[in-house]
A and B are shown apart, each in its own frame.
Chain A
Amino acid sequence: AQSVAQPEDQVNVAEGNPLTVKCTYSVSGNPYLFWYVQYPNRGLQFLLKYITGDNLVKGSYGFEAEFNKSQTSFHLKKPSALVSDSALYFCAVRPRSGSARQLTFGSGTQLTV
């Protein structure tokens, strides 16, 4: 069974500073990896995904994520945080093969800038 861990419930960062939101996963094989953001009383918005290729993935709103296969991590990063980045961030994983090819989400990390 696949699982996603977001070890930090809350991340606080000053505006203009770099931010990192951590994610590790457990799934057999090479999964697809995703980051979503959720604003209060809203659905989830897609930020970026890793399918294959370059380990550094660039996404929406200046966010990027680094895939590290050996550490099974997919940390979300941004060079300079904005107040408007304050939201709830979810990491998700989906296996490339097998019968259970649904998205599995982490528990979320509340980012406050």
Chain B
Amino acid sequence: DAGVTQSPTHLIKTRGQQVTLRCSPKSGHDTVSWYQQALGQGPQFIFQYYEEEERQRGNFPDRFSGHQFPNYSSELNVNALLLGDSALYLCASSLPPGLEQYFGPGTRLTVT
């Protein structure tokens, strides 16, 4: 049974560029949540997708957007990258009501 997978593992971008991160949920899961984990901090909720729609959103600017596909996989897009966007981006999948979330290994984004 495949767990949550994320790609790429690492990514280096320049300020002002755009980036797309990808996530495949655990088999059977239909809800995907994205988190940003800055160095030395706990994960912060970005948004959650269910039935291809954004259902909840944390305190992140509109530069952060996402998408969920019919097969439940998801993308996180970040536009106009800032140095402060450097972090580990975690994807988590679950079944409603999302009481037990399964996390992927994350994508380490470095913005220079």
A and B are interacting partners: yes
Inter-chain contacts of B103 with A (CB < 8 A) = 36, 43-46
Within the complex, what minimum Cβ distance (angstroms) separates A94 from chain B?
8
| Contacting residues, chain A, for B33 (C-beta < 8 A) | 102-103
Which of B13-21, B40-48, B65-73, B77-85 makes up part of the contact surface? Answer: B40-48
Q: Does A49 contact B (CB under 8 A)?
A: yes
Closest CB-CB distance, A58 to chain B, in whole Å? 15
Interface majority SS (helix, strand, loop, mixed), chain B: loop
Residue from B42, B104, B106 within 8 A of A107 (CB atoms): B42
Q: Are B44 and A105 in contact (CB under 8 A)?
A: yes
Q: Which of B3-60 contact A (CB under 8 A)?
A: 4, 33, 35, 40-45, 48, 56, 58
Contact A102 B48 (CB under 8 A): yes
Q: Given the known A-B contacts A43-B104, A49-B99, are A105 and B43 also in contact in the complex, defined by CB atoms under 8 Å?
A: yes
Closest to A46 in B: B100
Residue in B35, B101, B106 whose beta carbon sits within 8 Å of that of A46 in the complex: B101
Q: How far is the CB of A47 from chain B (nearest CB, A)?
A: 11
* B56 partner, pick from A49, A101, A105, A108, beta carbons under 8 A: A101
User: Is there contact, CB below 8 Å, between B100 and A49?
Assistant: yes
**Whole-angstrom distance between the alpha carbons of A44 and B92 in the complex?**
9
A14 within 8 A of B: no
B76 part of interface (Cβ distance < 8 Å): no
Taking the closest CB of chain A, its distance from the CB of B97, in whole angstroms, is 8
Q: How many whole Å from B55's CB to the nearest CB in chain A?
A: 9
Task: Collect the chain A residues with CB atoms within 8 Å of residue B44's CB.
Answer: 105
Q: Which residue of B lies closest to A6 (CB)?
A: B42
Instruction: Using CB atoms, name the residue of chain A closest to B47.
Output: A102
Give 1 or 0 for each of A24-48: 1 = CB within 8 Å of chain B CB: 0000000010001000011111100
Q: For window 82-103 of chain B, which residues contact chain A by CB distance below 8 Å?
A: 90, 92, 97-103
Closest residue of chain B to A90, judged by CB?
A: B42
Q: Are B58 and A46 in contact (CB under 8 A)?
A: no
Chain A residues at the B interface, C-beta cutoff of 8 Å:
4, 32, 36, 41-46, 49, 51, 90, 92, 94, 99-108
3 nearest CB pairs, A to B: A105-B42, A43-B103, A102-B45
